[in-house]
Structure 1
Amino acid sequence: MVPQIGDEVVVSCEPASARVAALDSRHITLEWPWGVIDNSSNFRWDGGFSIPCDDSDLEWVPYHIEPVVSELRAGDVCMVSIPPTRLYVGHYEEYDPPRNLGWVPAPTAGIYVIPPENMDEEDAGCMLYMGGAEPIRVELVDD
């Protein structure tokens, strides 16, 4: 399946354990449980991924953290996932060769997803990378 702009999809990612690297009033940074730093890459990914702490932030990602961020401190372990979520496709691209982003395995595709309530906002979505280490699933909604 190659998603098209405007398609409605259900996106999900199974939970994984992650350590909290840092936390401030706006973001929680996790030691990302998927992917390994590619030391041969010109891109210097540090192994972390920052997620907005609350829904009021202008940034949006579909990731869910348990327990809630307010209960976590640096060094704690949490679960990160994408519960099955209905979203719209804003953009889709395939990478051949896989895209060098500083981690291995490198992703083979990217999908920009937008929540339904933000469809009219140009930068209201999030790019998810597929075909790498993150077990992201994307299913087309048929109804």
Structure 2
Amino acid sequence: MIYRVGDVLRISCPFTPTVVTGVDEAYVSVRWPWWEIDPDAEGVRWNGEVDLGRADPDELYMTDPASPRLAPGDTCRVGIPARIIHVIEVHEYEPPQETGWLPRPSLSLLVLRVGEAPDVAAEFQGTSIEPDGGVPFTLELLFRPYAFLEVGDDAADAAGRAGRFDGPWTWTAYDGAGGVPAWPLALLIGGADPTAVAAATATGSHEAEVTRWRRAAGLQDDAQSR
């Protein structure tokens, strides 16, 4: 699957047995059951453990039993209960990224929990996941804004303005003016189906599409979208 900014996904990961290697006020450390140490990594050494935030609201993974009941040497399970996230960044790596563990990921997604809006002023926000990085995620696409267009497509809006679609929140009008496209849209060139674009935008608006996305992502009406 090709992921895009704006995708609303349901993520889960089977709970898998492991061992607790350390506990402090902030983290519980566990032997990570899905990765292997990369013997060929240069300048990156990984000890086979992962620290999970005990009170971090962005932490996707959970332990069973819960971390307050765990001590070093305990056995537990680690996984992700089914929950909804949305994608705010997509990064591809060629060659795959050297992380210190195997497999080396070639794709990472920066995601937010349902109900959390992107904050352009935040220096750090979100959690990174690697769909091809060895963890047996299940990722189900629940909603994709502007699913009828492909990134890089050119389209004309109802006002006759031509622009390039670079993602659901990035419309680059060739006349240099700002604003969002007025529906309906007509595909000029690109990989999308012209009939599907016309049909999908025959009713509605850019603002209505944003509202649909916000509803799927669990955002409040007063939350700021991109």
**Cα distance in 2, alignment partners of residues 46 and 130 from structure 1:** 22
Q: CA deviation at 1:25?
A: 0.9
Do structure 1's residue 30 and structure 2's residue 30 form an aligned pair? yes
Q: Which residue of 2 aligns with 1:134?
A: 135
**Cα distance in 1, alignment partners of residues 101 and 62 from structure 2:** 22
- Identical residues among aligned pairs (%): 29
* Higher strand residue share: 1
Matched-pair contact (CA < 8 Å) for 2:88–2:118: no
Do structure 1's residue 124 and structure 2's residue 125 form an aligned pair? yes
Do structure 1's residue 50 and structure 2's residue 51 form an aligned pair? yes
SS class of match (1:70): helix
**Cα distance in 1, alignment partners of residues 61 and 111 from structure 2:** 12
Q: 1:7 to 1:52 in 2, by over 3 A?
A: same
TM-score of the superposed pair, with normalisation by structure 1: 0.89
Q: Which residue of 2 aligns with 1:110?
A: 108
Do structure 1's residue 66 and structure 2's residue 52 form an aligned pair? no
Letter matched to residue 126 of structure 2: G
Q: CA deviation at 1:7?
A: 1.6
Q: What count of residue pairs does the alignment treat as equivalent?
A: 140
Which consecutive residues of structure 2, in runs of 5 or more, have no partner in the other structure?
144-215, 217-226
**Cα distance in 2, alignment partners of residues 85 and 49 from structure 1:** 21
Matched-pair contact (CA < 8 Å) for 1:3–1:140: no
Q: CA deviation at 1:63?
A: 0.6
TM-score of the superposed pair, with normalisation by structure 2: 0.58
1:60-99 equivalent positions in 2, closer than 5 A: 60-99=58-97
**Cα distance in 2, alignment partners of residues 3 and 9 from structure 1:** 10
Larger deviation: 95-104 or 79-88?
95-104
* Higher helix residue share: 2
Q: State the structure with more CA Rg.
A: 2
Q: Which residue of 2 aligns with 1:20?
A: 20
**Cα distance in 1, alignment partners of residues 40 and 4 from structure 2:** 34
Letter matched to residue 21 of structure 1: T
Which consecutive residues of structure 1, in runs of 5 or more, have no partner in the other structure?
none
Matched-pair contact (CA < 8 Å) for 1:31–1:47: yes
**Cα distance in 2, alignment partners of residues 107 and 15 from structure 1:** 21
Q: CA deviation at 1:67?
A: 0.4
**Cα distance in 1, alignment partners of residues 64 and 114 from structure 2:** 24
SS class of match (2:108): strand
SS class of match (2:77): strand
**Cα distance in 2, alignment partners of residues 13 and 29 from structure 1:** 18
Q: CA deviation at 1:130?
A: 2.2
Q: Which residue of 1 aligns with 2:98?
A: 100
